[in-house]
């Protein structure tokens, strides 16, 4: 994000990893908080920030779903193992 247009050379948000999107979002927020940008550039930064925040949320939602699926599978495996444990056969 260099030059006069704050988002013209920025990569596509959809192609960013969580860490890349988060780091760029921190930079965008810092630039907006510092001020000094012309109105049009500030609006472009704000829009970029919104897109980056949404991308981060997509990554977090996906991670949450994967974690829930892993926990569910683990619980099902644990229930299946306890149902067939040797202690039950005694």
pLDDT of residue 86: 59
Counting every residue written for the chain, the total comes to 90
**What is each CA distance from 90 to 5, 60, 82, 83, in whole angstroms?**
75, 46, 14, 13
pLDDT of residue 1: 47
Domains of the chain with CATH codes: 16-82 (1.10.287)
**pLDDT digit string (tens) for the chain, length 90 residues:** 444 555 667 899 999 999 999 999 999 999 999 999 999 999 999 999 999 999 999 999 999 999 999 999 888 887 777 766 555 555
DSSP 8-state symbol, 5? S
Q: The dihedral of CA 40, 26, 49, 8: what is its sign? A: positive
């Amino acid at each position: 994000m260099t030059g006069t247009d704050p988002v013209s050379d920025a990569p596509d948000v959809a192609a960013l990893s969580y860490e890349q999107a988060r780091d760029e979002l921190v930079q965008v927020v810092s630039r907006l908080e510092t001020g000094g940008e012309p109105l049009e550039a500030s609006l472009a930064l704000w829009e970029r920030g919104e897109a980056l925040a949404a991308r981060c949320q997509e990554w977090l939602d996906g991670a949450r779903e994967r974690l829930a699926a892993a926990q569910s599978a683990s619980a099902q495996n644990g229930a299946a193992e306890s149902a067939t444990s040797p202690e039950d056969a005694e």
